[in-house]
Amino acid sequence: MSRNVLELVLHRLCVDRTVKQRFKEDSVGLLARYDLTEAERAMLTGFDVAAMQQHGANPMLTFGFWSENAPDRHPAAYMRALRGEAESGTYAFSAVLKR
């Protein structure tokens, strides 16, 4: 596996409105266009930002990807996903960061 294509897709999902919309409507179809492994596709469709970082993806991209595409785009939700924490209600970004 290579992080390069994963980062290519992540970057497009950060900055390209058309790609973001296609991902929202048909993520499987969109990702089929790229030379990704099944594991990488699963990271993207599952918003598994922790796995992406373990795979070598730049954290700025995983954060941007989440902020632009995740069902719950709030940074607090990103931090929970990154840290592997269960949902525990709504709390402010700054409160999460203080922990």
Partner 1 sequence: MGRIAGGFLVPHDPVMFVEPEAPPPDIRERIWGAFRTCADRLAALEATSVVIVGADHYYNFGTGCLPQYLIGTGDVEGPLDVMPGLKRQVIPTSQPLANFIASHGHEHGFDWAVARAISVDHAVAIPDRLIVDPVRVSGQRIGTVPVYIAAGVDPYLSMRRSIELGAAIRAAVEAMPGDERVVVIGSGGLSHWVGMPQMGRVNEAFDREIMDHACTGNLGAMRELSDAYILEHGGNGGMEVRQWAVAMGAMPGARGEIIEYAPVPEWVTGLGFVQLFA
Rule CB under 8 A: which residues touch partner 1?
4, 7-8, 11-12, 14-15, 50, 53, 58-64, 78-79, 82-83, 92-94, 96-99
Least Å distance between CB 82 and partner 1? 5
Residues with Cβ within 8 Å of 45's Cβ and at least 6 positions away in sequence, in order, are: 27, 28, 31
Least Å distance between CB 88 and partner 1? 17
Least Å distance between CB 26 and partner 1? 22
Cα gap 61→63, rounded to integer Å:
5
Sign of CA dihedral 52, 69, 44, 7: negative
